[in-house]
Structure 1
Amino acid sequence: MGKDTFESFASSDLLRKHIALGEPTLSENERQGMWKAIERRTILRSRRSLRMWRWCAAASVFAIVVGSWLFSQACFQSDPYGKMTRLVNVDTLRHISLYLGEQQVELDGQIEVRCLAVTNQVEVKSVSGASFRLSATEQEETYLQLAVPAGIKAEVVLADGSRITVREQSKFSFPLCLAGEKRRVYLEGEAHMKIARNINKQFVTETRNMNVTVLGTEFLVSAYPKSSEQSVLLVSGKVEVEPLQGSRLVLSPNQRYVFNTTTQKSSLDSDVDPTLYTCWRENLLEIKDEPLGDVLKSIEAIYQTNFNYDWNELAQIRINGKLDVSVPLDELLDRLVRIAPIRLDGTRRKIILNNNR
């Protein structure tokens, strides 16, 4: 028992004895003095408790903030591309965007991004030859993302000399220096990849539904998030495909692996002509026995425009040929009329089936 508590009990006992013996009670001043002393003790204890509570609350908030930051850093290190891919929506993008750490740069026209590991920089070149450099912060590894809108493509040259052609409406994320045990990149969309050979360091392309592993080869990956068809086409060399659903398989040249995200089933086609799927790199739209409706959809996506036509009617017609999609739209449509039984109503942008052909 503490001294203060003992004195309080003693005072209370003495007070009861005075009352029991009928002795005079405390005066008004004495009572006020006694209650003020009690009040001071109570307030002092409350203030001490309040200060202690504030310190505990502040420490808890600090611990939560620090813990959240450490957790976010750990998540980023384990999955550096997850956060980057959520930064941008390619469907609403108007210009090519390059993300370098906290930096974001919007770029006009077709460009090439080259990784310079020695100087820890990125060089950006335009088709006209103009160029500039961006410097990365000094850290173990810097991650970048190139987001490409509709109607254009872009080139990436990695630190090892591998060349990546990123197709429209795609996001390609990659490390600046390729310092890890494996050369890991991430793709949402489509890209043609010509990988520098390195037998000591595998090159892994990660997508939502599969990983593609190579040592050095040329291949095409198509992994648009909104498409039910995800595919890998091998041009040369050898690749290993590891889908999230199903078993691994090794592709040979001119084989195309297709995974359907709706049915969760996969297929493998052999003796495929790679130019049918890679001609977009040369600004060509190669058409081999394709429905006319599908061809018009491709043209709409490339030129970011819309036509008025009956898709079901035109889907019954199949055409063949090549179209140069680098020319103005009116010129391309004039060429399309020569290989397809259609006529154009320019005022209403309407495409009509020509039954006389």
Structure 2
Amino acid sequence: MDKNTFQELVNRYLDGTATPAERALVDRYCEHLETDGESELGPDAEAVLQLVMYERIMRRVQAPPKRSYRWAYAAAAAVLVLVVAGVALFPRKQAPVVAEKSVFRNDLNPGGNKATLTLGNGTIIALDDIVTDTLTPQGGSKITGSGKGQLAYEAQPGAVQQVVYNTLTTPAGGQFRLTLPDGSKVWLNAASSITFPTAFTGADRTVELKGEAYLEVSRNPQQPFKVKVRDMEVAVLGTHFNVNAYTDEAAIRTTLLEGSVRVNNGGQAYTLKPGQQAQLQSNGQFSLLNDVATEDITAWKDGQFAFNDADIRTVMRQVARWYGAEVVYEGNVTHHFMGNIPRDVPVSRLLKMLELTGRVSFVVEGNKIIVKP
């Protein structure tokens, strides 16, 4: 591409308006520079990438816009966006020098496809990436482990549709995919569980969720789909949505990506449109948010951490779940972070990226991550 086109792409990348394909293009270019040290775009285009990003960061630090409360926290953290591939994208001679503060006595591997399946009779089965079709049928449904962290229930024609409840549970550092008997798909995040019938025989299709899941529900107007999450119920016909209901988060959040859902909390209810989010705070406050960043909210199922003006405790809650770590704070860190980081990297790489802001440092001792200013 020519220099002007490339500069526009860089601007969109930094502003957060680039499409996933455009962001992937910049990321691949960065990885190419990191491994080969050469650019197919030529020195002029490479200089544009380096200078534009560096100058935009410096402008935000020196003269933030009216929404300065956001950029004052996020300006330095914008560096994080530029190191998704683990390499600074501005000239090394101009880059601020960040002292190495971290002490990693060991490393923690990222999570993977791990879960347990609890059958109706209480039997617990450990699941992994192994392909299997030897699991005992449940309530007239055949169970197949198709590999790559996936489990599928398939209703068998002519079988007695006995209602049996199974529970799929992921540990800290685990994730899994589930296909329900009606064909609905569930992505289960770390430290989560979903309880479901092996056959949907009643007036509705009801499941219970703890933790976080992304669901793509098969449409069936005659049999609505319901997700029960503590004090909240999400009713749908057929749609794509994300539910975050971790008990250590400040709120239960239901975010709609496609279709329509109705979120109920006692006598209150909201009907969501795509891009909206219903929040139920721990104090009982129930509210509706518009124009939420749905790509950031569902980034976890696509193998990414996505931080959008996130404080350190929000960041580290995600880190703790995915790496199965204990997090301890020593000192006060008030910095906010922006950017995307792959979830398949060791924890040391993720922490070093956060340290590039110059506002936080980490010590890893065994399974413990210590957070310091």
Q: TM-score range by the shorter chain?
A: 0.5 to 0.7
1:170-209 superposed matches below 5 A: 170-209=192-231
1:22-37 superposed matches below 5 A: none
Aligned AA for 1:328?
P
CA distance in 2, matches of 1:131, 1:241: 27
CA distance in 1, matches of 2:290, 2:130: 34
Aligned AA for 2:115?
I
State the structure with more CA Rg: 1
1:1-357 superposed matches below 5 A: 96-109=115-128, 120-127=141-148, 140-225=162-247, 227-244=249-266, 246-261=267-282, 263-306=283-326, 309-310=329-330, 313-314=332-333, 316-344=334-362, 350-353=370-373
**1:140-164 deviation digits (Å, cap 9, x = unpaired):** 2221111111111111101121101
- Structure 1 residue 310, shift from structure 2 partner: 2.8
Three-state SS of the structure 2 residue aligned to 1:101 is coil
For the 8 Å contact 2:143–2:152, the answer to whether it is kept is no
Three-state SS of the structure 1 residue aligned to 2:199 is coil
**1:42-73 deviation digits (Å, cap 9, x = unpaired):** xxxxxxxxxxxxxxxxxxxxxxxxxxxxxxxx
CA distance in 2, matches of 1:131, 1:247: 35
Per the alignment, do residues 340 and 324 of structure 1 end up closer, same or farther by CA in structure 2, a change over 3 Å counting?
farther
Root-mean-square deviation (CA, aligned residues, Å) is 3.5
Query: Hey, what does 1:39 align to over in structure 2?
Result: none
For the 8 Å contact 1:113–1:125, the answer to whether it is kept is yes
| More helix, by proportion | 1
CA distance in 1, matches of 2:318, 2:150: 30
- Structure 1 residue 251, shift from structure 2 partner: 0.8
CA distance in 1, matches of 2:201, 2:131: 22
Query: Hey, what does 1:33 align to over in structure 2?
Result: none
Three-state SS of the structure 2 residue aligned to 1:301 is helix
Where do 5+ consecutive residues of structure 2 fail to align?
1-113
**1:315-356 deviation digits (Å, cap 9, x = unpaired):** x21121111121112222233223453345567965543xxx
How many residue pairs get aligned? The number is 255
Question: Greater relative contact order (Cα 8 A, min sep 6): structure 1 or 2?
Answer: 2
CA distance in 2, matches of 1:264, 1:112: 44
Q: Quick one: percent identity of the two aligned structures?
A: 25
TM-score under structure 2 length normalisation: 0.60
Per the alignment, do residues 303 and 117 of structure 1 end up closer, same or farther by CA in structure 2, a change over 3 Å counting?
closer
For the 8 Å contact 1:320–1:339, the answer to whether it is kept is no
Three-state SS of the structure 2 residue aligned to 1:197 is coil
For the 8 Å contact 1:112–1:155, the answer to whether it is kept is no
TM-score under structure 1 length normalisation: 0.62
Three-state SS of the structure 1 residue aligned to 2:297 is helix
Per the alignment, do residues 347 and 303 of structure 1 end up closer, same or farther by CA in structure 2, a change over 3 Å counting?
closer
CA distance in 2, matches of 1:259, 1:146: 25
**1:180-211 deviation digits (Å, cap 9, x = unpaired):** 22111111221111111112211111122021
Per the alignment, do residues 272 and 113 of structure 1 end up closer, same or farther by CA in structure 2, a change over 3 Å counting?
farther
Per the alignment, do residues 343 and 326 of structure 1 end up closer, same or farther by CA in structure 2, a change over 3 Å counting?
same
Where do 5+ consecutive residues of structure 1 fail to align?
1-94
- Structure 1 residue 298, shift from structure 2 partner: 2.5
Three-state SS of the structure 2 residue aligned to 1:295 is helix
Three-state SS of the structure 1 residue aligned to 2:181 is coil
Three-state SS of the structure 2 residue aligned to 1:296 is helix
CA distance in 2, matches of 1:112, 1:207: 31
Query: Hey, what does 2:31 align to over in structure 1?
Result: none
